[in-house]
Amino acid sequence: MGKTDMQTIKYLICLFALLVVLITIFQSETNTYPSNGVINWKGQDWYLMDGKSDPGDNYWNKTGAWIDNQNRLHLTVVKDKGIWNCTTLMSQDTYLYGTFTWTVASPVYTFDKNSVVGLFTYLNDSQELDIETTRWSETEGNQLWYSVQPAKIEGNTQGYQVPLSITGTNTIYKIEWKPTYVRFTSMQENGEIIADFNYTNVSGIPQQPENVMMNLWLLAPPSDGKNIELIISDFTITNE
């Protein structure tokens, strides 16, 4: 091999190494962060709450969500200057009926006992369809909940104890909202059902357009003192 060939090979190796570095930098810079409390994901704007309010009388962070280079949405609970800041997003659009499907990448059934993950539709506190993963600060018991608000009405809430073998990683959650029923379904990635509840009390089913909301919040400071991050890898709405 001649000197010229060796120089060419060295040049190509250096060029390849530089290309790898540039790709890595580019990928890290494709993360998307909120602008003035708004982030665009899955074809619409999502508005982030700020200030202090319910649920949980929490502090809310309008920069607490971001989108990674795989187009996955991240919600956070972060301690900043001694204050725990939670995250809530509300959709730009409202919907009357439809099927709302979330795919969650995080092991939500192993999250801190004082945390709550909410995937829901919302008009007001009495017209709301909820899927929540939480232990409600208990060390044992149900981790998955379905509710048609007001939850205090008998038959409007169902809780489920999920086997320890299911951590919640790569799980799918659906709310199928129709005029005569609401069906809540949670399943594993392979399609195996975790819990399914069909609500048929027509008088309790919301009959007005609602926003879609997602949140990660606290009942009390995390028992382990650590920040929490929720990754939602996909979300779809169908009107069939």
* Percent of the chain predicted with pLDDT > 90: 87
Are the C-beta atoms of residues 156 and 182 closer than 8 Å to each other? Answer: no
| pTM reported for the whole predicted model | 0.88
Pairwise CA distance, residues 83 & 51, whole Å = 12
Q: Residue for token digits 């997003």?
A: 89
Matching residue, tokens 């009357």: 96
Query: Do residues 67 and 74 touch, judged by C-beta distance below 8 A?
Result: yes
Q: Which of 23-27, 89-93, 149-153, 201-205 has the lowest mean pLDDT?
A: 23-27
pLDDT, tens only, 48-96 = 999 999 999 999 999 999 999 999 999 999 999 999 999 999 999 999 9
- pLDDT (0 to 100) of residue 18: 64
Mean pLDDT of the chain: 93
DSSP state of 24: H
- Neighbouring CB atoms inside 10 A of 44's CB total 11
Are the C-beta atoms of residues 121 and 210 closer than 8 Å to each other? yes
Above 80 in pLDDT, residue 19? no
Please report which confidence band the pLDDT of residue 25 belongs to, taking 50, 70 and 90 as the band edges.
Answer: very low
Cite the beta strand spans of 105-225 per DSSP E.
115-124, 127-134, 144-148, 157-160, 171-177, 182-187, 193-199, 210-218
